[in-house]
Structure 1
Amino acid sequence: MSEVKQLCYLGFGVSDLDAWRDVGTRLLGLVEGRELAGGGFTLRHDEYANRFFVTPDPSDDLLFVGLEVADADAVAALGERLAAHGVDSTPLDDATIAARQVEGGISFQEPGGVRFEAVYGPAKAGAFSSPVCTGGFKTGDLGLGHFVLRADDMDTTLDFLLNGLGFRLSDRIICDIGGYHVNIAFTHCNPRHHSIAVGGNLPKHIHHFMLEANEIDDVGKCWDRIVDAGLPVWNAIGRHPNDRMISFYAETPSGFQFEYGWGGLEILNDDEWNTFVYDRISDWGHEHPAAMCKKLFRRQKESS
């Protein structure tokens, strides 16, 4: 059993703060939290004060990951688990504790070099209300949502998650799509089907992060906002076979993607959970808009 309770926060280094502020609040329905020293701001989508740290950085990539544990004892236990796995950890300094608004924690690196932080006592900001995503987001004990981390070596990164952090394997997707080989492993630390997935052949440390709405209508409304705003869409609405989520994918101002979905499966009993290897990304939908348009135009031409 992992000491990690949930995915607590993500830190992004971005080159266009204004674009992120607009997309995050006006399009995704997040709420701005606070301004950060040195520039940047936080975004929230529940009672937690800081779910996303958006800071100025030319990398346009994932800078750090926050994992929540119960208390100082859990931090110590996780540090011992990591040490036994050959991963060094360091206590967070006072400046980082203040910046993250937590009571304490440790930092360490995953095999690809991204900074991970295990923290306890994250600050809360009271009830959440979004004027855009009116039904709110599914978080609570399930945490922020999920993200997909680049694995330069799949076996090494998966070993870090399963044996270093104590996550559990949910399932895998291995298939070929348009000449591109897909190999993704999905891991969980609570009932959410996956909090961290890993995949290879990615240009950035992060492929996408996921926000799960409480109501499917908020997914449809977000889809309309994204299309009207002209944000690049990578995958139209569809449903995944493993976590059963109905979702779409579009591009953030930093080039990596976000998934906006509803209806994700929960793993309520690990002893009764069977791990599968799926041979497809989606049961239906999730096509790239360009491919959809080509099909529609071809069929219209054939029928005329």
Structure 2
Amino acid sequence: KQLGYLGFGVSSLSDWENFSENVLGLEIAKRVPNGFSLRMDSYAQRFFVLETGADDLEFVGWEVEDAAAMEALRDRLESAGVAVEDGSTDEVALRDVQALIRFRDPSGIPVEIFYGPKMGEGEFESKLVHGGFNADTLGLGHLVISTPNRDESRDFYIEVLGFGLSDHIICDLGGYQVNVAFLHVNSRHHSLAMGGPMDKRVHHFLLEVRSIDDVGAMLDRVERARLQVVQGLGRHPNDRMLSFYAHTPSGFQFECGFGGREIDPSDWEPTVYDQISEWGHRFQPRRKPRPEGSGEGGNG
């Protein structure tokens, strides 16, 4: 149905709280002893930020329609030899869902399948992202994960979990061989993508905004916060997203984009692209540390 929530283990809750509220434009939904959750749309919670010190992805939550759909997936997982556990009472309460099951994907990433998420009270309005996020029935955005064996992981998500293949990007990027598979679960072009092995489980997550001005405004906030912009503005050929990439306080990246393609999964034909970007997405020089005692300065 959709990418329902992401859980991150971080080393600095204060940095993430400041980043989430004052850069991304999200809202604290709930506080727990070791962290907090975040709201971005009609759902009560979309992100869980927990102080574990890992600075990495802790878990991924995929929403299904109902209990029958969850049990059908449990049967398929167990038939494929995957060990499945029921979520604990505490986990179900923390996630604000009716029920969940949990397992690890071929890369070892903890995956949760759930149904019956709680909706937030009242309409969500970001204090900073004035046009709002393109989420709700499309899911929170997308996630790109590290996979020791991309083909095995891709086939697992398609054949066992029922995802659809959107396309591949296979190209040379400055001497680095790129081979990424993009998968969909609804009309968002992709909710999950996977490349080769990396230092962390997660390469980046995407937040899609409904106004191109909100992309520019977020880029301004990133630079004011002195976060590292990794790739400047550009457009991808497959999902048509106009976006930029920057570092989170935990070192992995986020993408802020506008204008992503929506597809009809019933008749979508996968293809292979030979470039990451149609234009832009240039890698940015590493930001130099600001000297102690200096102000923000001008445009230097």
Q: Percent identity?
A: 51
For residue 294 of structure 1, what is the aligned residue in structure 2?
none
Specify which of 210, 213, 220 is matched with residue 224 of structure 1: 220
Mapped partners of 1:19, 1:160: distance in 2: 35
How far the C-alpha of 1:270 sits from its partner, in A, is: 2.9
Q: Provide Cα deviations, 1:113-151, integer angstroms capped at 9, x if missing partner.
A: 111111111111131011100111001211010010111
Counterpart selection for 2:168 from 162, 167, 172? 172
* Alignment check: 8 A CA contact 1:72 1:105 kept: no
- Corresponding residue of 1:98: 93
Q: Which residue number corresponds to residue 110 of structure 2?
A: 115
Q: Indicate whether 1:278 and 2:273 are aligned.
A: yes
Work out whether residues 43 and 136 of structure 2, in 8 Å CA contact, stay in contact via their aligned partners in 1.
no
Q: Please, which of 7, 11, 16 is the counterpart of residue 11 of structure 1?
A: 7
Specify the alignment match of 2:290 in structure 1: none
- Bigger drift between 55-64 and 223-232 goes to 223-232
CA separation in 1, counterparts of 2:114 and 2:124? 22
Are 1:68 and 2:63 matched, yes or no?
yes
- Distance in 2 separating the partners of 1:97 and 1:161: 23
2:49 to 54, 59, 63: 54
**Residue 134 (str. 1) matches residue 134 (str. 2):** no
| Shift of residue 208, structure 1, vs aligned partner | 0.2
From 20, 23, 26, the counterpart of 1:24: 20
Q: Where does residue 204 of structure 1 map in the other structure?
A: 200
| CA displacement at 1:93 relative to structure 2 | 1.7
Ranges in structure 2 where 5+ consecutive residues have no aligned partner: 287-300
Per-residue deviation at 1:222? 0.6
Give the alignment's Cα RMSD to 1 decimal.
Answer: 1.1
For residue 88 of structure 1, report the CA deviation from its aligned partner.
Answer: 2.2
Q: TM-score, normalised by structure 2?
A: 0.93
What is the CA distance between 1:224 and its match in structure 2? Answer: 1.1
* Structure 1 stretch displaced more, 97-106 or 233-242: 97-106
Listed one character per residue, the Cα deviations across residues 248-272 of structure 1 (whole Å, up to 9, x for unaligned) are 000000000000000000112432x
CA distance in 1, matches of 2:265, 2:185: 12
- Residue 289 of structure 1 deviates from its aligned partner by 2.1
Where 2:285 maps in the other structure, the secondary structure is helix
Paired residue secondary structure (1:141): helix
CA distance, structure 1, for counterparts of residue 88 and residue 162 of structure 2: 25
Q: Secondary structure at the match of 1:27?
A: helix
Other-structure match for 2:243: 247
The answer to whether residue 194 in structure 2 is matched with residue 194 in structure 1 is: no
User: Deviation digits for residues 24-80 of structure 1, max 9, x if unmatched?
Assistant: 1101111111101x3100111101111000000111000000010111111101111
Which has a greater percent of helix? 1
1:181 corresponds to: 177
What residue number does 1:150 align with? 146
Q: Write the distance in 1 (CA, Å) between the matches of 2:107 and 2:265.
A: 31
Would you say how many aligned residue pairs link Structure 1 and Structure 2? 285
Cα distance in 1, alignment partners of residues 111 and 251 from structure 2? 22
Instruction: Say if 1:167 and 1:187, in contact at 8 Å, map to a contact too.
Output: yes
Q: Which residue identity is paired with 1:154?
A: R
Rounded to whole Å, the distance in 2 between the matches of 1:158 and 1:228 is 38
Give the whole-Å Cα distance in 1 for the aligned partners of 2:138 and 2:46.
Answer: 13
Moved over 4 A (4+): none
Segment drifting more, 43-52 vs 77-86:
77-86
TM-score, length-normalised on structure 1?
0.92
SS at match of 1:203: coil
Deviation at 1:160, TM superposition (A): 1.2
- Opposite residue 112 of structure 1, the aligned amino acid is S
Q: Quick one: distance in 1 between partners of 2:128 and 2:85?
A: 40
- Report if the CA contact (8 A) 1:170-1:194 is conserved: yes
Query: 2:13 is aligned with what amino acid?
Result: L
- AA aligned to 1:94 is T
Counterpart in the other structure of 1:45: 40
Contact (CA 8 Å) 1:68, 1:120: kept in 2 or not?
yes
1:123 is paired with a residue of what secondary structure? coil
The answer (yes or no) to whether the contact 1:239–1:282 under 8 Å persists in 2 is yes
Q: 1:82 aligns with which of 67, 77, 101?
A: 77
